[in-house]
Amino acid sequence: MQLEEYFNVLAPDDIRLKGTRIGIESILYEYIYHCKTPEEIAEQFHTVTLEQVYATILYYLNHRSQVDAYLADWLEFSRTMRQEQQRNPSPARIGFWQMQEENALK
C-alpha cells in the first residue's frame, strides 16, 4: 500500500485517515505537542489502527514543511474559534455556567 492511500484529502485543509473521521492534525498534535508514542495514540483514538498512526507520522516526516504549515493553519483556526466562542457563548454554554454558579451557592 502506498503511503497516500492511508488518507482522504477532503480539502487542502482537511486530510483524514481513510475509513475514519480523524484528521491527521489530531494524530500529529498528540505526537508532536504531547510527545505520545504511536501506541498511546492508537489507544486514545479507538477507530485508528497502529498502522494508520505510523503512516500519519511517516507522512509528516516525508512532507514536513507542508504538514507544518497545515498544522500552523489548524492551530490558528482553533485559536480563533476559541476566542469567538468566548466572546459569543452559545445559549447552552451560558445555561451550563448558570447551573455551575447555582450549584456553587448550595
pLDDT in tens, 8-48: 999 988 999 999 999 999 999 999 999 999 999 999 999 99
Question: 31 with 40: CB under 8 angstroms?
Answer: no
pLDDT tens for 57-89 read 999 999 999 999 999 999 998 899 889 888 888
pTM over 0.85: no
CB atoms within 10 A of CB 99: 10
Stated as kind and residue range, the H or E segment containing 14 is strand 14-17
Please provide the distance, in angstroms rounded to a whole number, between the alpha carbons at the two ends of the chain: 60
**Is the pLDDT confidence value at 102 over 80?**
yes
CB atoms within 10 A of CB 74: 18
The residues, any chain, with a CB within 8 Å of residue 59's CB and separated by 6 or more, are 3, 4, 6, 7, 24, 67
pLDDT at 66: 94
